[in-house]
Structure formats: structure tokens, C-alpha cells
């Protein structure tokens, strides 16, 4: 019964937001990560922790999947 409730909530969430809860969480984390490198001089480890990741490799991979660039490449292109 508990599983049915969770599945129903996930389905309703997807219908309302047009994305799964996991997709929304990842998108929000990546939006935060997108602004952090340009506004701080923090390491990728600190940035990954601030965005909810415990592994810098995972945040870098998610960032690359979302934006087509690594965080370092993005930061280098946006720094003027």
C-alpha cells in the first residue's frame, strides 16, 4: 500500500511539473551549480557539496550532461 501511494505521488508530480522528482532535483542542483563557479572561487568539491552531491565526479558528469560542458570548461568560457 505504501508503495502504491509513492508511485501515485510520483505520477501526480510528473503530470504537474512534466518531469520526475529526480529530474527536478537534478535540474535544480545543476541550476545552482551553473551559478556557483562564476560567483565563487570554490573548488569543485565544495561546489558539489553545496549542490547536494557527495562526489565531485558525479556533479561534473551531471553538469556535462545538462550543459554539454564540464564545470571547468563552462567557467573558462564565461570568465571575461
Q: Is the pLDDT of residue 16 over 60?
A: yes
**For the chain, what is the mean pLDDT?**
85
Nearest alpha-carbon partner for 36 in 24, 52, 48? 48
Mean pLDDT of 12-34: 92
**Domain extents for the chain?**
23-78
Q: What is the pLDDT of residues 44-72, one digit of tens each?
A: 788 888 889 999 899 889 999 999 998 88
Q: Considering only the top CATH level, what class is 23-78?
A: mainly alpha
Instruction: Give the contacts of 2 (CB within 8 A, at least 6 positions apart).
Output: none
Amino acid at each position: 500500500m505504501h508503495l502504491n501511494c509513492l508511485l501515485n505521488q510520483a505520477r501526480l508530480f510528473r503530470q504537474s511539473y512534466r518531469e520526475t522528482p529526480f529530474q527536478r532535483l537534478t535540474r535544480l542542483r545543476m541550476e545552482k551549480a551553473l551559478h556557483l563557479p562564476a560567483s565563487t572561487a570554490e573548488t569543485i568539491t565544495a561546489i558539489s557539496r553545496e549542490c547536494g552531491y557527495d562526489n565531485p565526479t558525479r556533479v561534473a558528469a551531471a553538469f556535462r550532461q545538462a550543459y554539454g560542458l564540464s564545470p571547468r570548461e563552462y567557467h573558462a568560457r564565461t570568465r571575461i
